[in-house]
Amino acid sequence: MATSIDSARFPEARVSIERRSDGAIVVRVKSDGQGEAQLPDAVFAFRCGDPQYAYWLERLNAASNIGQ
């Protein structure tokens, strides 16, 4: 079963990506609910060697290059 990475992307407005000083990449996906139905944000950390590390590193680098 093959899936496209692009089709699985989170909306850019709801995602923040940062690199910590230890090299880990932290991804925060803002909740979409409102009021009492709003869930907490989802937060993921990826380190070199994790299967999704390269994907999030690429997105972080792409976002960094937009402002240049």
**6-62: per-residue pLDDT in tens?**
545 667 788 999 999 999 999 999 988 777 778 889 999 999 999 999 999 999 999
Cβ atoms within 10 Å, residue 15: 16
Query: What pLDDT is stored for residue 13 in this prediction?
Result: 83
Query: What pLDDT is stored for residue 67 in this prediction?
Result: 58
Q: How far apart, in whole angstroms, are the C-alpha atoms of residue 12 and residue 10?
A: 6
Nearest Cα to Cα of residue 29 among 49, 55, 20, 39? 39
Long-range contacts from 38-43, C-beta under 8 angstroms, 24+ separation: none
1's tokens: 């079963």
With a CB cutoff of 8 Å and minimum separation 6, the contacts of 48 are 23
